[in-house]
Amino acid sequence: MRFSHPPHDRSITICTPGQRQWYRPTSPWKWGINPTFYPGPVPYPLVLHYQLIYPQTPSAAPEILWDVIHPPSFARVSSDRQFFKKWRPPDFDTEAFQPTGVKKVWILSDHPVLAHWVERWGPVIVISSTNLTIRDILEGIYAYFRTPLTRDDLLHVNSIPNNRKCLRYARAQRAKDSYEIEAVVIAQGYRRIDVVGGHRRFQGLRISILPDQAWRLYMNLAPGTVPRIS
């Protein structure tokens, strides 16, 4: 190690490490050393299948075209063609996450209205005995929104003026857009999806990593008509 002084003040001592000390690694995993064994499971980077993720830009459409009032079998994804796109079912049996091994997820929401209700109802919980697939995720979301509203839910809706009117309108639109007899759908009562009105278009999922290294999955819905594609 060399010692020197600045020309303007010799009371200050500058310590300069030797050449070898500059290149001393601070961690055994630096300098291109790639460990081949990990002492435990490595949760990151955790990646969602591209058919489930949020659109890459706000103006873009999600990969899956799906009105969540319908079963996942009605969902469609487009081909990679730029023109004259063809539509096909999602890769239902493909694993939803990489690395593999995810068998349970809790899904929250970014949607401002739905996020409020998720706090009351709890998250969408999807569990599988094997690795979760795209089908598992979509069926879990569909079942969550198909759940009937409880008496307490309706009382909460009525606590805000005009909310019940909006709820009735949402149910009527759901009955109209369904493949069932409208009168039968209306007679079955209100469902959870009715609280978000016309925001029924699946907008995708995103992974959020918290400071404690835990992770959460968030879902969003968007307004707009979802075309019926066979």
- The whole-angstrom separation of Cα 140 and Cα 126 is 6
Rama region for 122: left / alpha / beta (φ>0; ψ in -120 to 50; rest): left
- The whole-angstrom separation of Cα 105 and Cα 158 is 32
Residue closest to 204 by CA, chosen among 56, 14, 40: 56
pLDDT of residue 83: 62
- Look up the pTM and report it: 0.77
**Domain limits, the chain:** 42-222
Paired with 205 in beta bridges are 53, 219
Which residue is listed with tokens 């500058």? 14
Per residue in 135-175, pLDDT (tens digit) is 999 999 999 999 999 999 999 999 988 899 999 999 999 99
- The whole-angstrom separation of Cα 45 and Cα 177 is 39
